[in-house]
Structure 1
Amino acid sequence: MTGLRVVPTWRHGQERLYVCRTDGRNIAWYDREAARVNLLSDESRDDVLEALGPFLTGPVAVGPPPVPTPAELARLTLHPDDDLAPNRPGEALQIALDRDPGPAHRLRPDPRRRALLAEQTVGDALDRLDGAGWHALHSVPLPGGDRVHHLALGPGGLFAVHTLYARKQRVTVADPMVALGRHEPHPLLRRVRADADRASYALTAEVRPLLALVEPSEVRVTAPLREVRVVAGAELGDLARLGGVLKPADVEALHAMARDRNTWSRV
């Protein structure tokens, strides 16, 4: 067997090195923490160990995986091109800006860059919840060119997170309208709820809508909100205190489903 490649990933703060064929299928993975190389087929042992040679740090156990969970099996059979887990916060905006940076002489900042900063700020905050049993996916594509900015999955449930750059501005929320400073209000909460509804349909599980405001000077909510949560970006860490909704195995299974690009093609 030739052409094997090694792809590093991070899961719950621990590094794993997956060994892939040329078609992208995984055939083994190296768990540094456990000092173990897990093989899906013993026939590939020599080739896998040769590919992992530069990465092995000391003696390792080699053998079949210890009863992989359904979520792990789903991850192993997922083609890298269909795996959304490696997406960076603001992935879609970053790609758009790389392709078309816009004129350098703009008098006003490109609004896409502010939106990107907001998604990166919120995405980083969600990624920091990993140690508390949460997963975050970023720039989840939806049919028609739409996307969910972030999907958070953890013991406290599922959240479709929409970000809004609001630095040093007062935000007024009058469901479904959201206004920044003196700008005209827009029915943004309809979009936030619609994204959550589409995610619920794709995952066949309840996904709650959440609007994350980045660095607002003040947030004023004029009436009780229906279903949706509105938080400042700095408050996203409070999600770690939520629990009692999903068991760890359910979180892993839903994460395995959500990271598959094909899951979202029917919504």
Structure 2
Amino acid sequence: MSGLRVIPAWRHGQERLYVCHADGRNVAWYDREAARVNLLSEDHRDDVLEALGPFLTGPVMVGPPPVPTPAELARLSLHPDDDLAPNRPGEALLIALDRDAGPAHRLRPDPRRRALTAEQTVGEALDRLDGAGWHALHSIPLPGGDRIHHLVIGPGGLFAVHTLYARKQRVLVADPVVTLGRREAQPLLRRVRADADRASYALTAEVHPVLALAGPADLRVTTPPREVRILQDTELEGLARLGGVLKPADVEALHAMARDRHTWTRV
């Protein structure tokens, strides 16, 4: 017996089986999806395959770990404080509400909480695209106190998504104006396009603007918006059907650049 142990773990949403010594040192890992056993030392090849025997589901490639791509190297060198990938949907609002929850006796709901609900609803829908080769980043800070609610990067391109809480309300769009219920009309689409333009400048790539409506009762567009996609939160998963724009390596490279806080400091 080699004394090696097999320990399952999840990494970036995918299961890996790590083969370890009794003291916890890794010897190899098995990537089921890639059907590959990555060896840290050829000396343990036979012992590793014996330990993994009950878990192998078919032919596998065996060899040293693949050389990291430039995108992976950039991610590994990124300081945790500068990495935007862990941001939750509505991260900035969550922090603001934690610092100042506001008075408990408010007669009307705090608008920040409605905005947070919208960002969380939209963010959760975008996060579900991860398995289709997409990456979603949330609450990207911009100079001047602005932020991009969500940035989505995948085979279909890049999208800067601005969210709007519209639960059970009618939404009227007449570019650039958006009217929510009985409220005063606002030129919101200018902001949506401006966010995408700033993202395009930062990433030196075309970024498409999207306005995502959370829970509207009705949507009517009288003047077709220039460049901007208007989507309800239930329609966002349709982005996964878009493709043919970016290769997987390009997606990873752009994601590595976008998750770095320093990328956004001069836009």
Give the CA deviation at 1:182. 1.2
Query: Aligned to 1:254, what secondary structure does the other structure show?
Result: helix
Which residue of structure 1 aligns with residue 176 of structure 2? 176
Are 2:87 and 1:84 aligned?
A: no
Question: Are the structure 2 counterparts of residues 197 and 107 from structure 1 closer, same or farther at C-alpha, using a change threshold of 3 Å?
Answer: same
Which residue of structure 2 aligns with residue 260 of structure 1? 260
Give the CA deviation at 1:38. 8.4
What is the TM-score when the length of structure 1 is the normalising length?
Answer: 0.80
Cα distance in 1 for partners of 2:217, 2:75 equals 42
Which residue of structure 2 aligns with residue 4 of structure 1? none
Mapped contact 1:176–1:189 kept (Cα < 8 A): yes
Which residue of structure 2 aligns with residue 121 of structure 1? 121
Amino acid at match of 1:241: R
Question: Are the structure 2 counterparts of residues 68 and 190 from structure 1 closer, same or farther at C-alpha, using a change threshold of 3 Å?
Answer: same
Mapped contact 1:15–1:31 kept (Cα < 8 A): no
Give the RMSD, CA atoms, in angstroms: 2.6
Amino acid at match of 1:106: R
Cα distance in 2 for partners of 1:246, 1:120 equals 27
Give the CA deviation at 1:223. 1.4
Query: Aligned to 1:222, what secondary structure does the other structure show?
Result: strand
Give the percent of matched residue pairs that are identical in Structure 1 and Structure 2: 78
Summarize deviations over 1:59-101 as a string: whole Å, max 9, x none. 7xxx964111111111111111100000000000000000000
Query: Aligned to 1:216, what secondary structure does the other structure show?
Result: coil
Amino acid at match of 1:100: D
Question: Are the structure 2 counterparts of residues 96 and 72 from structure 1 closer, same or farther at C-alpha, using a change threshold of 3 Å?
Answer: same
Cα distance in 2 for partners of 1:112, 1:31 equals 45
Question: Are the structure 2 counterparts of residues 260 and 37 from structure 1 closer, same or farther at C-alpha, using a change threshold of 3 Å?
Answer: farther
Summarize deviations over 1:205-252 as a string: whole Å, max 9, x none. 000000000000000100121001101010001001000111111000
Question: Are the structure 2 counterparts of residues 122 and 10 from structure 1 closer, same or farther at C-alpha, using a change threshold of 3 Å?
Answer: farther
Q: Gaps spanning 5+ residues in structure 2: where?
A: 1-8, 17-25, 42-50, 53-62
Cα distance in 2 for partners of 1:14, 1:115 equals 31
Query: Aligned to 1:252, what secondary structure does the other structure show?
Result: helix
Task: For 1:1-267, list aligned pairs within 5 A.
Answer: 10-11=11-12, 13-14=13-14, 33=31, 65-267=65-267
Query: Aligned to 1:149, what secondary structure does the other structure show?
Result: strand
Summarize deviations over 1:95-125 as a string: whole Å, max 9, x none. 0000000011111111100000100000000
Amino acid at match of 1:184: E
Mapped contact 1:162–1:212 kept (Cα < 8 A): yes
Amino acid at match of 2:248: P
Which residue of structure 2 aligns with residue 51 of structure 1? none
What is the TM-score when the length of structure 2 is the normalising length?
Answer: 0.80
Mapped contact 1:176–1:188 kept (Cα < 8 A): yes
Q: Gaps spanning 5+ residues in structure 1: where?
A: 1-7, 17-27, 43-57
Cα distance in 2 for partners of 1:253, 1:151 equals 14
- Residue-pair matches, total: 231
Runs of 4 or more, structure 1, over 3 Å off, are 30-39
Question: Which has the greater radius of gyration?
Answer: 2
Cα distance in 1 for partners of 2:182, 2:122 equals 24
